Amino acid sequence: MLVRNKFAKGVLQSTVALAALTGFAMTPSVAADQEAITIVINQSPWFAGFQAVVEKYEEETGNTVELDVNPFAGSLEKQRTAVRSDESPYDILIMNAGFFTEFYTGGFMEPLTAIDPAFKLGEDIYTFDDSVCWDAEASRITCQTGDLLSVPVNPNILILHYRSDLYKEHDLSVPATWEDLYENAKVLNGRKMYGISQRGQRGAFDVTYDVFPYIWAYGGGILDQQEDGSYRISINSPETKAGMEMYLKLAKEVGHPSTAGQTQTNVIQNMSTGRAAHIDSVLAPGLFDDPHKSAVVGMIDYAPPPGSADHDFATPLGHWLGGIPKNVPDGRKKAALAFLDWFQTDEAQRAYAEAGSAPVSRAVLTSEMADTDEYRWMKALAAALPNARLTFTIPEASQVLAVTELRFNQAIGDEMPLNEALNAAAEEIATVLEGAEYTYQKLDDLN
């Protein structure tokens, strides 16, 4: 397997052997020799697991896969360029929840049943709010009438990570609400440890993604589609303000002193080095239990994110989908589909989990693996996924995110008062919707 990685120089030939991962019974489509394919993907905490499974696929089938690995924004730009070219250099796009609609509405993705009419999503594979399907005529995300355009690659939702050893020492209970978490964080906050570490830095879909559990827990939102198809800009609602006030309370009283500058990597490192008692983050269990990378081996446990007294918890879908562009030759389309077909099998999904990444199979998440200490995170993920929600479903999501990333970061960094930041964001989102000729409702400014 070749890996073109923007984080490393040159082209690396992988030499990792996965001899322990055996037992895959090939489907007919995979057993046949396939053309070499290239997958464009981002560098994420779960990437190492995906890379290991690709290596297993090559080992089991003899087929060749090249990975083009990039930062988040770089991968997105490569995908945008690829689908608009005469022929895409990439046979599978690994699309994020924040942007997949852009590729669907543009008509760039090949329906998977157009490549093979017999292809279908495995019965144990999550559809992630039906985001794998698109009804082009109705311009809707739905698997009832839409075409299957992708296969889920990674769940990537936010999960509460907490120091179970310290919870036991201080006789603390797993928090059901953000107020509960605040009280626990106060107990554990000290000179050598933050009560919580939160992501607050501006990026492509960074701070916005991480504040969703707070604002949803208080009944807020950012941009909500209504039953009649119109939109309500809710970023400056009293409910969203309440959620952000809780985020800021944690950040200022029991959090990192520079939360506005914290990236996802910083947050995970704070936990792995023993400097944070809590994080609400995408899963990276392989890292926390690796003695070469972690000072807290066996000390981290997992739970769904907290809710509030009035609302159940909700976690944003930041999941990843693998789709095949239309502007790819037929032979490479079939080879790409063969990989996606193999990837959703039980054996591949178990191997994915064994390599340290979260599977997209309900059967694996609720299997006997979840009863072991090594895979204790599976129960939290399985419990959280039913409450996972899509965030943005319009192709202009990147324009909305450019607004929210800036304004949330400014509020967190005390560059702008919270009310002013939320009001400014609402006005700027309205400009985006107006330019795209959406029907929308804008609330009165917060005082």
pLDDT score, position 5: 65
State how beta strands 37-42 and 65-70 pair.
Answer: parallel
334 closest CA partner among 343, 348, 349, 324: 324
What are the per-10-residue average pLDDT scores of the chain (447 residues)?
A: 57 32 41 86 90 96 95 93 98 93 96 97 94 93 96 95 98 98 97 95 95 98 90 98 98 98 96 98 86 96 98 95 98 97 96 92 96 95 94 90 98 98 98 96 96
Strands (E), 25-164: 37-42, 65-70, 92-96, 133-134, 147-148, 150-154, 159-163
DSSP label at residue 338: H
What residues does CATH 3.40.190.10 cover in the chain? 2-155+317-365, 159-315+392-442
In the chain, the amino acid numbered 38 is: T
Locate 308 and state its tokens.
Answer: 């509030």
Helix (H, G, I), strand (E, B) or coil at 442: strand
Locate 72 and state its tokens.
Answer: 């988040």
Task: Please state the φ and ψ torsions of residue 70, each to the nearest 5 degrees.
Answer: -145, 165
357 closest CA partner among 375, 382, 383, 337: 375
Q: How many CA atoms lie within 13 A of 336 on its CB side?
A: 33
115 closest CA partner among 340, 343, 342: 340
Determine the Cα–Cα distance for residues 47 and 72; give it in Å rounded to an integer.
12
Determine the Cα–Cα distance for residues 149 and 142; give it in Å rounded to an integer.
11
Determine the Cα–Cα distance for residues 322 and 422; give it in Å rounded to an integer.
34
pLDDT score, position 17: 31
In the CATH scheme, what is the code of domain 2-155+317-365? Answer: 3.40.190.10
Q: Could you tell me if 366 and 359 are in contact, meaning their C-beta atoms sit under 8 angstroms apart?
A: no
**Look-up: residue for tokens 């998440």?**
365
283 closest CA partner among 167, 174, 166, 377: 377
Determine the Cα–Cα distance for residues 343 and 345; give it in Å rounded to an integer.
6
pLDDT score, position 28: 43
Locate 154 and state its tokens.
Answer: 């990674």
Helix or strand (DSSP H, E) at 11: strand 11-13
Contacts of 444 (CB under 8 A, 6+ apart): none
Which ranges in 66-142 belong to alpha helices (H)? 72-83, 100-105, 112-115
Locate 358 and state its tokens.
Answer: 């979260």
Q: Could you tell me if 426 and 443 are in contact, meaning their C-beta atoms sit under 8 angstroms apart?
A: yes
Q: Which residues of 406-415 are buried (b: 16+ CB within 10 A; e: fewer)?
A: bbbbbbbbee
Locate 126 and state its tokens.
Answer: 């999550």
Q: Could you tell me if 6 and 74 are in contact, meaning their C-beta atoms sit under 8 angstroms apart?
A: yes
pLDDT score, position 32: 58
User: 69-72, long-range: CB within 8 Å, 24+ apart, which pairs?
Assistant: 69/3, 69/4, 69/5, 69/6, 69/7, 69/41, 69/42, 69/43, 70/6, 70/40, 70/41, 70/42, 70/43, 71/6, 71/7, 71/42, 71/43, 72/42, 72/43, 72/44, 72/96, 72/203, 72/204, 72/205
In the chain, the amino acid numbered 302 is: Y
- Tell me the fold of 159-315+392-442: D-Maltodextrin-Binding Protein; domain 2 (3.40.190)
Backbone dihedral region for residue 119 (phi beyond 0: left; psi -120 to 50: alpha; all else: beta): beta
> Cα dist. 416→155, 247, 422, 423, 427 in Å?
34, 15, 10, 11, 15
